[in-house]
Amino acid sequence: MPGSRRSIWRRALTVLAIAGPGLIAANAGNDAGGIATYASAGSEFRYRTLFVMVLITIGLVVVQEMSARLGAITGKGLASLIREEFSIRLTFLALAALLVANVGIVVSEFAGIGAAFQLFGVSRYITVPIAAVAIWALVVAGSYRYAERIFLLLSLAFFSYPIAAILGHPNWKAVADATVVPHFLASNAFVLLVVALIGTTISPYMQLYNAAAVVDRGIGPEEYPLERVDTVAGAIFADVISWFIIVATAAVLGGTGVLNSAKEAAQALRPVAGSAAELLFGLGLLGASALAGAVVPLSTSYALAEAIGVERSVSRSFREAPVFLGLFTAQVAIGAFVALLPVNLIALLIGTQVLQGVVTPITLAFILVLANRRSVLGEYANGRIFKVVAAITVVVVAVMASTLVVITIAGLF
């Protein structure tokens, strides 16, 4: 009996030690753009998008699991595998799409940091440059592993959304109905928001970061079962919080239309925080934006450094990995600079998520093909059922993105 208890504790400690890449990658999706998009869904369409979130969660679990499996089994990041398995032109297409989308998201993260401090009465012209230097220094100095825990801790403020959803007294019958039965609207605005939900929840940077972080931490085939738990649990946890954000916002602000500021989005937390709603929302927004403000440029740096075959690791110095850390530095600088320009925050955040939704099918298609190949994963390649589910996920995302493009072009005429 004592021996079995020790065994259980040993397994638990092992899980805690290895947990990280999956949870961090998925939780980074609940960033400034994610919060703005989920809150806008509840504010504009009440509970109608809840069924969409169920489908998106299934897709996120499938995609994140494949990316983690590719990293753990091959010991290579997604960019390295794409470079080895596909032509130079296709590799360039994948990386170009990633770079364009990710730079846009880095801008939105620093805009989110600025918005968080503005809720505290501090100008973004002061806080954004300071935040940029701080995030850069933490990564370059090799302290990022500790910093990401702090960012995760701050982002736990969004745990208050489930409480806010309950205290907001939503129509639970309508919530349950909208969760299990589709309630779609044939409108450009609804399609736009659904694509934004896909883009902010199943973001290419999450898959690239997940695979690269698994490799960077030395997680191999033996540890993969535990990493799989981390990845799947992280994806589900992040989307449960997203579901509650929509419910809470719908209960408090539902029917008021499109959100125009972070201050409006914070009102959904009034049932749980009262007059301190803005403070609570600001803390969560700061933690989520800071976490993604490091994860997104890191994912791009991992991908581009892998593609050209140079050193890449947050544990390396600038001298040892100049390209990797140089790319990270450039993205942080550009993101902070553009975030200081006078633009509507909510429009910027949702716009970047729509861009992600359009780019996502490209990355997902590469991941699906790689995970299906026995020449890459051997016995760990996708099985028959997993192939079907993964293929449906990629096709649905691609169809939604294509629909948005068609609607946008048609609108021009």
- Give the residue extent of every domain in the chain: 2-412
pLDDT of residue 277: 77
* pLDDT tens string 224-236: 888 888 888 888 8
The residue among 259 and 151 whose pLDDT is bigger is 259
Please state the CATH superfamily assignment of the domain spanning residues 2-412 in this structure: Amino acid/polyamine transporter I (1.20.1740.10)
Q: What is the mean pLDDT of the chain?
A: 80
- The C-alpha atoms of residue 84 and residue 215 are separated, in whole angstroms, by 17
pLDDT digits (tens, 9 = 90+) for 264-292: 777 777 776 677 777 777 877 787 788 77
Q: Is the pLDDT reported for residue 409 higher than 80?
A: no
Residue 214 has pLDDT above 80, yes or no: yes
**Across 49-58, 154-163, 243-252, which has the greatest mean pLDDT?**
49-58
Quick check: 390 and 382 in contact, CB under 8 A? yes
CA angle (226, 145, 359) in 5-degree steps: 75
Element (H, E) at 223: none
Average pLDDT (148-171) is: 74
Query: Nearest-CA neighbor of 195 among 412, 408, 411?
Result: 408
Q: What is the pLDDT of residue 155?
A: 61
pLDDT at 17 over 50: no
Region 359-388: mean pLDDT is 89
What residues contact 271, with CB distance under 8 A and at least 6 apart? 163, 164, 167, 168, 248, 251, 252
Q: State the pLDDT at residue 332.
A: 93
Q: How far from the centroid of its chain's Cα atoms is residue 169's Cα?
A: 29
State the average pLDDT over residues 134-156. 71
pTM assigned to the model: 0.79
